[in-house]
Structure 1
């Protein structure tokens, strides 16, 4: 079995969202490689799929890639916070909707060749509108998008983030097909 071995690493940069480490990696043939690794806090995401098979999504701009797209409410999990509680908190803060009982949908590693970040996606079948979102600045708008449109939106590049693509295609499969 060809296994890369991490023989140790040290921090070269840290901030509240991530740490950049330099790892001494031994390749299967015995050679060594210096490899940068991003160590990240877990991310929790949530959406609701209503009785009409519409998912609550955010339309937002990402300055890093200078792109617009549909995404799920998401954010980092605070120290000591339960993943499901974090997902519910993020959905309420970013959409103004409080989700009903959440179900774990999937966990993805969006960039596991560079980072250890895990994104934990939850969904509910009900939600209660509480009011204008506390973090409304994070998105241009919040809408109920039919799951039936998801494959086309992914193909057109209107759903771009890996976690949203994976989650919404799986929800489409589970609820529509």
Structure 2
């Protein structure tokens, strides 16, 4: 099988030129001029976004610390879990996950463990989301929200979140993935 990262795969596109088309806080929109396998040249727009950490935090009682956050793109309060961008000086993803958990919720974890990484929308953006399980979380920190964050903290039973993910009522993809992955890992 061809190595999909070495450019020799017959499906690979050749990038002829690339430039940032638009920059805003949190992401850039990049436009590439590409040559398709059949020789056609066209433009392809994508989003460059920093990698992120996503935390599924469990309290000592076994509930999940959740956030309810206004999401302007969909125009509603969204149920989710703590997540945030990996910063340029973050060389330890576990420390970044601990920071995001504390900043968004005011909770600190007794322990954190990696739970896999995914590319949530690799047809549109280049980010990787690194998931973590946080155990024995306690409200011992100060919530420290960014200027563009409107967050309410709550707790929910993991079974309720699993059912909401299955029925489509847990709409945040990061949260649904984390909850369902956790449920599958426990069942396996």
Pick closer, same or farther for the CA change 1:7–1:53 going to 2, 3 Å.
Answer: farther
| Structure-1 separation of matches of 2:95 and 2:14 | 35
SS in 2 for 1:159: coil
Aligned residue number for residue 112 of structure 2 = 102
Alignment partners' CA distance in 2, 1:106 and 1:160: 20
CA RMSD of aligned residues (A): 2.2
Q: How does 1:63-74 map to 2 (within 5 A)?
A: 63-74=72-83
User: How many residues in Structure 1 have an aligned counterpart in Structure 2?
Assistant: 176
Alignment partner, residue 2 of structure 1? 11
Aligned counterpart, 2:30: 21
Contact 1:40 1:115 (C-alpha < 8 Å) held by counterparts? yes
Aligned twin of 1:39: 48
Q: Deviations over 1:33-75 (max 9, x none)?
A: 2001211111112132245542211122212101333211111
TM-score by length of 1: 0.87
Q: Deviations over 1:92-132 (max 9, x none)?
A: 01111011221111222222111101111111221232155
Equivalent-residue separation in structure 2 for 1:17 and 1:78 (angstroms): 11
Distance in 2 (alpha carbons) for counterparts of 1:2 and 1:94: 41
Instruction: Tell me, yes or no, if the aligned pair for 2:59 and 2:138 is still in contact at 8 Å.
Output: no
The alignment status of 1:112 with 2:122, answered yes or no, reads yes
Confirm or deny: 8 A CA contact 2:110 2:136 kept in the other structure.
yes
1:171 aligns to 2:182 (yes or no): yes
Partner of 2:66: 57
TM-score under structure 2 normalisation? 0.82
The 10-residue stretch of structure 1 (158-167 or 45-54) with the greater mean CA deviation from structure 2: 45-54
Contact 2:108–2:141 (8 Å) recurs in 1 = no
Instruction: Give 1:6 shift.
Output: 2.3
Counterpart of 1:158?
169
Change in Cα spacing, 1:29 to 1:116, as seen in structure 2 (3 Å) is same
Decide whether the 8 Å contact of 2:56 with 2:178 is kept in 1.
Answer: no
User: Do the aligned residues in 2 keep the contact of 1:60 with 1:138 (CA within 8 Å)?
Assistant: yes
Runs of 4+ in 1 over 6 A off after TM superposition: none
- Whether 1:138 aligns to 2:147 is no
**What is the Cα deviation at residue 151 of structure 1?**
3.3
Q: Where does structure 2 lack aligned partners over 5 or more consecutive residues?
A: 1-9
In 2, Cα distance between the equivalents of 1:50 and 1:117? Answer: 29
